[in-house]
Structure 1
C-alpha cells in the first residue's frame, strides 16, 4: 500500500427539506435536478424540462377509536426494499452512495491500521535485536512509514465524516412549533413503563376458553427513542421505533425510513402513512405497569354476561387495564402496531403527530 494515501471521494448529494403551510419541498443536491412536493401534484424538475406526474392519493388519518379495528393474523410489513416510491428514490440513492463509500473507506482504514500495527512491531523488534540501533537508517525508515500510516488514518477518518448524506430540514416558525410538540410528546411516550410491538392478533374462541378476551395478541417488549442512522447527518434527529419482527422505523419530518440493514431499507413519504390511535382494554395477567390505569375487573373464567363461571372452583379476578395503541399502515405494505402502558402519553403523541401530518399533506 502506498503511504502517500490520497483516496478520491465523491461528494454525496445532500437533501434539503423545507416544510411550510404549502407542504414540503424536497431538493436533492445534484446540479440540474430537484423534486418539489406541493398541494396539487408533484413536479420533477430536470435540465430538459418540467414534467407533471399524478399526485399521491390522499390517506385519511383518524384518532377516533370508533372507526379503527384491530388487524387479524400476523402483523408485519413487507420487505423494506419494496416500499420506496419514486419520489423518495433520489433520497435512497444518496444514502446508498454514502454507505458504499463509508464501507470502502472503513475497509481501507482497517488495512492501514493492520499495517501500522505491523510497522510498530517491526520498530520494537529493531531495537530488541539492536539492528535498529546499529543501522539508524533502518529505524528512521520505519518511523517515517509509521508517521505516513498515522496520517493516512487521520485522512480516512476525516473522509468518513464527509461521507454521509447531509439532511437539512427547515421549517416555518409556526410549523416548527408543531414539530417540537411532536418531539416533546414522543420523548414523554418513550418513558412509558412498557412498550410493546404487537406481532399478531387472533380471535379467541370464548366458548372453549371461557375467557372474557375476544382477541388474543402476541406482543414483544421493545424500545423507542431518539436515534440516528449512521449514513445520515441531519440537523433534526429522527424518532426511532424498534421493530420486533422486521425493519426499524425512523421518523424524519416528511418521510419515514424502514431500516433493516445498511443495504436493505425503504423510504415512505409521510403523506402516505395512515396513522391511527385507539384505546385498548387489555386483560392483564401479568404485573400492571405503574403508569397504566386499571379500569375494570373480570374473571379468569366467565359466562357470556360477565359473571364468574361457578363451575371453576379456583376462579379468580383479573384486572382490565387501558393501554394506548398506535397503528401504522400504508397502501404499499407497511403494517405495524404498538401498544403503550401510558395511555395519556400515547394519546398526546398521536394528537401532536396527526396535527403535524396535516401540514405535511398541505391540509392547512
Structure 2
C-alpha cells in the first residue's frame, strides 16, 4: 500500500517539517533563503536572481580535513587513589535536554521557541492595552462626575470610540495568543494511522496499571554475601502516565505523557518525542532515533504486591547458595516473586530511561504496538 504524506508540513509560517525517503528534517526560512536541519548537518540554501547555492554549515562535509602538527607529550597514567570509595551503583538518567535534541529536530525546537516568544510579547502587549482601557474608562467616569464631559460634548463620544477600539484590540490580541503554537499535521495513510492508533489505545490501557515506577538506579549485588535470591537491586519511584499535551504543540492526538522522577518528562507525538522541564528547558528527539525495548522480569517484591500483578514464585528473605531457606535465621520469612513489565528507552544523543509496570501484559502490548508502528514508519520514510 502506498504511503500518503506531505513532503513539507507547515508548522508555522517559515518553518516546515520535511519527511522523505532520506529521513526527517526541518527547514526554517522563506522563498529564496532557508536553513535545513538534518542528520547530515545544517545547510544554508539560497536562490537569488536565478542562481542557487547551497552551503554546508555543519556536519560531515563541513569538518576540516587539516591536521595539527603540534607535538603532544604522552600522558602518564595517574596512580590509583586507594582512598576513593568504589561504587557499583548505576544511576539511570538522561543527559541534559539541551544536548539531547536531534540535529534534524532543531527546526521544530526553534519553531516552539518562536511560538513562546510571540506569546510572551503578545501577553505583555495585552497587559498594556488592558491598562489603557481601564484608564480610558476612568476618564469617562470622571467626565460625568466633573461635568466637563457635558460641557465639551465631543469628549464622551471620543472616549467611547477609544474604548471600543481598545476592546477590539484586546479581543484581537487574545485571538493571536491562542494561535501561538506549533501545529503538527501529519497526513498518514490509513495503514500507518491505524498502527499509531494501536499505540495510542495500548498506552491508554497502560496508564491504568496499578503501579508504574521510574527506575532511577540499579546495581548488581553479591547474592552469596547478601544471602539473597536477588542478583540485582533497583531504586525506583512511583510515577504516573497520562494523555497530556504541551501548550505550544497541537496535534491530532494528545501526547503520550511519561512522568520522569529524576529529570525531564517525556511527551510522545507521532513523529517525535519532547523531553520537557519548562519552556526554556526542553529537547526534541526524532521518532526514528528512539530505541525502545520491552520485556518481562522476575522481581522479588518486599512491598505490597499490586492487585494487577501475578505472583509466579516465592523465595525467602535469607537463602542458601542453592536458593533454599537459610534456617540459621529464625525470623526468616517468605517473599513473593512477581512478574513485572519493563520498558527501556535510549538514544545516541543521551536519552536513557527505564520504567517498571505492575501489569506486565499491558507493558508488553504497548511495547509491541510501538515497535510495529516505528518499524512501519521507518520503512516508509527511509
- Give the alignment's TM-score, normalised by structure 2: 0.75
Verify: 1:163 aligned to 2:162, yes or no.
no
- Counterparts of 2:319 and 2:141, CA distance in 1: 79
Verify: 1:203 aligned to 2:220, yes or no.
yes
Which of 108, 113, 137 in structure 2 is aligned with 1:91? 108
Decide whether aligned partners of structure 1 residues 235 and 16 sit closer, same or farther in structure 2, where only a CA change above 3 A counts. Answer: farther
Computing the radius of gyration from Cα coordinates, the structure with the larger value is: 2
Moved more, 22-31 or 308-317: 22-31
User: Which residues of structure 1 form unaligned runs of 5+?
Assistant: 1-10, 55-70
Decide whether aligned partners of structure 1 residues 110 and 281 sit closer, same or farther in structure 2, where only a CA change above 3 A counts. Answer: farther
Verify: 1:292 aligned to 2:309, yes or no.
yes
Alignment of structure 1 residues 1-364 onto 2, 5 Å: 12-16=13-17, 22=21, 26=25, 28=27, 30-32=29-31, 33=34, 46-47=45-46, 48-49=52-53, 73-116=90-133, 145-362=162-379
Contact 1:18 1:169 in 2 (8 A): no
For 1:234-285, what per-residue CA distance to the aligned partner results, in whole angstroms no more than 9, with x for missing partners?
2333222111111111122222111121122111122222211121212222
Contact 2:212 2:355 in 1 (8 A): yes
- Counterparts of 2:132 and 2:329, CA distance in 1: 74
- Counterparts of 1:264 and 1:302, CA distance in 2: 48
Decide whether aligned partners of structure 1 residues 322 and 147 sit closer, same or farther in structure 2, where only a CA change above 3 A counts. Answer: same
- Counterparts of 2:18 and 2:308, CA distance in 1: 37
SS at match of 1:91: helix
1:118 is displaced (CA, Å) by: 5.8
User: Which residues of structure 2 form unaligned runs of 5+?
Assistant: 1-11, 47-51, 61-87
1:302 is displaced (CA, Å) by: 1.8
SS at match of 1:170: coil
* Aligned residues: CA RMSD: 3.3
SS at match of 2:379: coil
Decide whether aligned partners of structure 1 residues 222 and 116 sit closer, same or farther in structure 2, where only a CA change above 3 A counts. Answer: farther
1:86 is displaced (CA, Å) by: 2.3
- Give the alignment's TM-score, normalised by structure 1: 0.79
Structure 2 partner of 1:60: none
SS at match of 1:163: coil
Moved more, 42-51 or 171-180: 42-51
- Counterparts of 1:157 and 1:147, CA distance in 2: 15
Contact 1:203 1:215 in 2 (8 A): yes
Return the structure number with greater relative CO, CA threshold 8 A, min gap 6.
1
